Amino acid sequence: MSFFPSHIDVPEDPILGLVSRFRADGRVKKCDLGIGVYKDVDGRTPVFAAVKEAERRLLRMQETKTYTGLQGNSDYTVAVCDLVFGADYMPETLASAQVPGGSFALSLASMMVSKIAPAAVIWTSTPGWSSYEPLLLRDQLAKRDYTYAITPDGKLDVALLLRSLDAAQPGDIVVLQANCHNPTGIDPSPQDWAKISDYLHTRALVPLIDFAYQGLSDHPDADAYAVRRIFKKNSEAFVAVTNSKNFGLYRERTGCLYVQASAPETAKLLQGLMNDILRRYHAMPPDHGASVVAQVLGDSQLRVDWLTELEAVRRRLEVPRIRLADRVAAVGIPALANAVRAGRGMFTRLPLDANAITRLREDHSIYLTGDGRINLCGLTDENFDRVTGPLLAAAITAAAKREPVASHVY
């Protein structure tokens, strides 16, 4: 008798599953609008020049590859702390660790919550990033949704968002994306962030900020607005940070988690809990990406070079966004055109049903995630007309099926 079963029932990851299907598709004119990876106008995901230079320096200067420690590379966590919080934070009230990517930072936060408050509910946005389901401990903590609806003029309906959190209980966790909302691209305005952080404070709800796109909607300082506003008002908060996107370090698994407590003694306790969890998982994270980021942020010239490259990334992302918004407006769906145009970062979303998304994939080799999210970088000069034709035909059909007075785009 075999120890291993002949079948194990595990769900397919909605994003990584799509990548495998795309790779297996033999059609030449296929188009990947699925996975959240930056691509330049030629469809490549290049290494940042500042990263390459930091790697060359590391190769020359690194003298040892001995273990770092449970919390990883402290040059990195301190440099990223400055990038995230600016000058205005109290290190003694923070627990922190370098971890393998933003995904693990989110999981680590939820593992801490399940130890501290197993009855807490984790609230995530609908629509939201599909990976929250597996990352935020589906099996151990309860998860509920709050509403992330977009008005016909392309703004977040913040009043509806807050109303949908009214059922939350003190001590529940609210996951918020700081910028470049995945999948809609629409972020709260600074006034909305003030309302959200005041509401969380008054209701004793604990923010867990997912900060995956610092520098992809605006200068990194401007993009840190939500984190800084919330950490100032809400003395107990988490922020999960990744450098996958803003340094192009995807496969190097470079991220960190910061947890703010209201007093230094509590921060020490949280650091102990964090270290205990990390010991059981990977003991310490891979160092390469963290050393690269620490090099870039610690060297004034490399930092300027990196900021310049990030600005070019932002400019590149705006081009297909505006082109697509113009096209959507031209086919007569103005509310959707506003939502596409007002978004920031890599994503926008077409309100398509599962059947339309399957047809796009099977009939036209256009790959979207199941929620209608589009990675705008997948639209190039070469494929723009070929791909937007079927996409917009599907969007027109979807718009015709909607209530004529629908008050939200989605």
Footprint of ligand PLP on this chain (CB under 6 A)?
A: 36, 101-103, 129, 177, 182, 210, 212, 242, 244, 250, 255
State the minimum distance, in angstroms, from the CB of residue 36 to ligand PLP. Answer: 4
Residue closer to ligand PLP by CB (options 93, 214) is 214
* DSSP per-residue codes, 215-282: TTSS-HHHHTHHHHHHHHH-SSEEEEEE-TTTS--GGG--EEEEEE-SSHHHHHHHHHHHHHHHHHHT
Amino acid occupying residue 157: D
245 part of the active site: yes
Report the nearest approach of ligand PLP to the CB of residue 39 (Å): 14
Count Cβ atoms below 10 Å from residue 343 Cβ, excluding itself: 26
Of 245, 305, 371, 394, the catalytic one is 245
Instruction: For residues 46 and 34, give the distance between their C-alpha atoms in angstroms, rounded to a whole number.
Output: 18
Nearest distance in Å: CB 211, ligand PLP = 8
Task: Report the nearest approach of ligand PLP to the CB of residue 204 (Å).
Answer: 25
Residue type, 193: W
CA distance 349 to 336: 9
Name which of 230 and 337 has its Cβ closer to ligand PLP: 230
Please indicate whether residue 97 is annotated as part of the active site: no
State the minimum distance, in angstroms, from the CB of residue 168 to ligand PLP: 21
Whichever of 102 and 215 has its CB closer to ligand PLP, that residue is 102
- Give the gyration radius of the chain's Cα atoms: 21
- Residue 81 or residue 99: which is nearer to ligand PLP going by CB? 99
Q: Give me the catalytic one of 50, 109, 149, 212.
A: 212
Nearer to ligand PLP, 251 or 268 (CB): 251
Strands 373-375 and 347-349: antiparallel
Residue whose tokens read 């297909």: 320
Q: Are 160 and 149 in contact (CB under 8 A)?
A: yes
What residues are labeled active site?
129, 210, 212, 245
